Every structure is written in structure tokens, then in C-alpha cells.
Amino acid sequence: MTEILSQDEIDALLTAVSSGEALESETSSSPSISMGGGPSVKPGREKKRLKVYDFRRPDKFSKDQIRTLQMMHETFARLTTTSLSASLRTLVHVHVVSVDQLTYDEFTRSIPSPTTLGIINMDPLKGSSVIEVDPSVTFAIIDRLFGGKGEPLKTNRELTDIELSVIEGIIVRLLGNLRESWANVIDLRPRLGNIETNPQFAQIVPPTSMVVLTTFDTKVGDVEGMMNFCIPYITIEPIISKLSAQYWYSSIRKGITTENLNLIKEQISDVRVDVTAKLSETELKFREIAAIRDGDIIRLNGSIKADVEIMIGNSVKFRGKAGMVGKRLCIQIQEVVSTIDEEMLQDILMGEEE
């Protein structure tokens, strides 16, 4: 016999199907199956965990690469904390809040307008990046540099030409910290292109392009705000293979190469050091020292024929004979006590690195 459902029953059934209740009731009401007189087994469907994937914003960075970028920018945050504290002469604290990947359009819609947007040329990488500083932090820095207490403005506005010039110097200082924090991955030479205040005028990539966004919590005195560093994937793509924890640690702990040793030798070859010739020694009482006058003779313990110790710093490096060349005193090297060869230099440098 065919049963006809009313409209209310159809609506209720569709609602149950959309919420998943119909599937659960079907599973619970299904007949049990007995296997050879044993306990009954109720058939059911295993629940599979599905991950939602948005093709409009595909993941470009792996978790390992995101973690490496976070470590690099934590170094940048520490350097920025030190440099800004020194230049502003107040307590500054910068630390990484998050490292996320999103579209460039999502980034521009998440920041206020007007704001401070520095367009950065990422030489030798092709392309640009963006450093965005929250207006409250920007005006606190400007107020501090102009002799104030570092207070933000009550109402947001665009920067004047003088204020743009001042904040430009701050961003250039930040780029020096950025270069140092990236040194283990690439010899980055970031340069400030221009400063924009409207996010719509800072379209460095198409809106749908994927970027990696590092967000810093920045505190200048009592003023707290955010600072963002946005790098497009197409800019960082040539070195994406180097953004791994393995490469990061290997670049930090890599051994001293012949090229590095030659560079070190070249740099220290022109360094001037004091060389001291130690003839001999003796002991005097304090009253004897106090009684010394011009022309007095101090008798030393060593023989006049004994070798003279030649010291560099506090260490004896050579032994030789004292004499004269013309009217000038001199020492003739007779013996080299110790030398620093390449293997010893490498051991010293590796010990300092650890």
C-alpha cells in the first residue's frame, strides 16, 4: 500500500536529512544480523573526517615553512625591540603573534585606512612586500621623536610630509633588522620604495594572489598596536625550498669553509697589535720601589745571554735575542713558540659558535 506524505511531513523529512538526523535514525533502526547464533551485529557506516579545501585560496606554504618564517621573524622582532628602544628612548616591545597564509585582498581589507604602508623592494628577489604599521603605533613613534610622551592621536588622519619623512627613517631602520634576520637563508637587501596611506594604492600583486602575513604585537610605551609584514608567494617562491627547519639549522651550524677562513685572514691581516719584549723579571719590596731614582740600576734574575720572551697580548709567541740595528733597539726571532694554524682557528671559531 502506497503512503502519501503531507507537505508538513515532506518538510520535516528534508530538514532531518539536511541535519543528518535521518541517517542516524536509519542506522539505529536497521535490522541486526546474527552470525551463527552469536551476538547480533548492527551494520553501520564509518564516519570519515573530511577536510574542507577552498580552491580560491590554495595553501602555498607547508607547516614547516611557516614555522621557519616564524623563527626568522622572531629574530626580527628581537632586533626591532632593541633598535626602537634605543632610538625612541622608551620601552618598546615587539613579538610575533601569528604567521598565516591568505589572499592579498583579505590582507588589504583587514587593515585600517588611512594607515602606514611601506612598499619594500626585496632585492635580489623579484617583487615587493609590504610593511604596515598601525596608526596608533605610527603616531606614538612620531610624537616620541618630536619630544612628546609618545601618545597616539585621538582621531586617525593621513601623515603630513614631515611626518612621512620621519616614519621613513624608522622603516629604513627596520629593514636593516629584516636583512639580518634573513641572513641565514638569503643575503636580502630590502629597500624602501615609497610609503602609501591607502591600501587601495598598494596593489603589489593581484587580489587573489596568496601571501604570507606575519603579525607583530607592537607596544611603544603605553600605546599598543599591530605591525604586519606581508610577502607575496610569487616573491618568495625562488627560495621556498630554503624555508625549512633543516636548512635553517644547517646554515647556522655549518662548518668553517676554506672561503670563510680566507675571508677571516683577510679581515684580520691589517689589525694592529701590541708586541712586548720581556727581558727578565725580579722582585722588589715596596720601599725599594719608592726609593728608585733616575740613574738607578735594577738587577734582573735572568742572564744577559738568555733568550728574550716576545709577547702578544698576555701570551708568549716567540723567543729571540736582544740587540741593536743602528741606533734602534730590536729583537731577533730565534724560536716560534706557538702558531695558530687553520685547524686550530677552525676549532676556536666552532667553539665560539656553540
* CA dihedral sign of residues 283, 284, 286, 290: negative
Q: 75 with 218, same domain?
A: yes
Q: 91 with 239, same domain?
A: yes
Q: 158 with 107, same domain?
A: yes
Q: 76 with 184, same domain?
A: yes
Q: 25 with 68, same domain?
A: no
- The angle that helices 342-353 and 258-268 make with each other, rounded to 10 degrees, is 90
**Is residue 50 in some structural domain?**
no
Q: What is the DSSP letter of 153?
A: P
Q: 282 with 236, same domain?
A: no
Tens digit of pLDDT at every position of the chain (354 positions): 445 666 667 767 777 766 655 444 444 544 544 444 445 545 555 556 666 666 666 677 888 888 889 999 999 999 999 999 998 989 999 999 999 999 999 999 999 889 999 999 999 998 899 999 999 999 999 999 998 888 888 888 888 999 999 999 999 999 999 999 998 888 899 999 999 988 888 889 999 899 999 999 999 988 999 999 999 999 998 888 888 766 655 555 554 556 666 767 776 777 787 888 887 788 888 888 888 888 888 888 877 778 888 888 778 888 888 888 888 888 888 888 865 554 555 554 555 444
State how many domains the chain has. 3
**Is residue 54 in some structural domain?**
no
Q: 245 with 185, same domain?
A: yes
Q: CATH number of the domain that 85 lies in?
A: 3.40.1550.10
**Of 143, 139, 135, 132, the residue nearest 89 (C-alpha):** 143
Q: 5 with 103, same domain?
A: no
Q: 117 with 18, same domain?
A: no
**Is residue 261 in some structural domain?**
no
**Of 181, 3, 12, the residue nearest 80 (C-alpha):** 181
Q: 248 with 118, same domain?
A: yes
Tell me how far apart the alpha carbons of residues 16 and 12 are, in angstroms, rounded to a whole number: 6
Residue 80 belongs to what domain range? 63-253
**Is residue 39 in some structural domain?**
no
Length of the chain in terms of residues written: 354
Full-model pTM: 0.57
**Is residue 45 in some structural domain?**
no
Q: 107 with 243, same domain?
A: yes
pLDDT for res 327:
83
Q: 18 with 125, same domain?
A: no
**Is residue 113 in some structural domain?**
yes
Per-residue burial over 37-71, b if 16 or more Cβ lie within 10 Å, else e, is eeeeeeeeeeeeeeeeeeeeeeebbeeebbbbbee
**Is residue 258 in some structural domain?**
no
**Is residue 48 in some structural domain?**
no
Residue 117: Cβ-neighbour burial (10 angstroms; 0-12, 13-18, 19+): buried
Q: CATH number of the domain that 279 lies in?
A: 2.30.330.10
**Of 311, 249, 242, the residue nearest 279 (C-alpha):** 311
Q: What is the grid cell recorded at 197?
A: 596611506
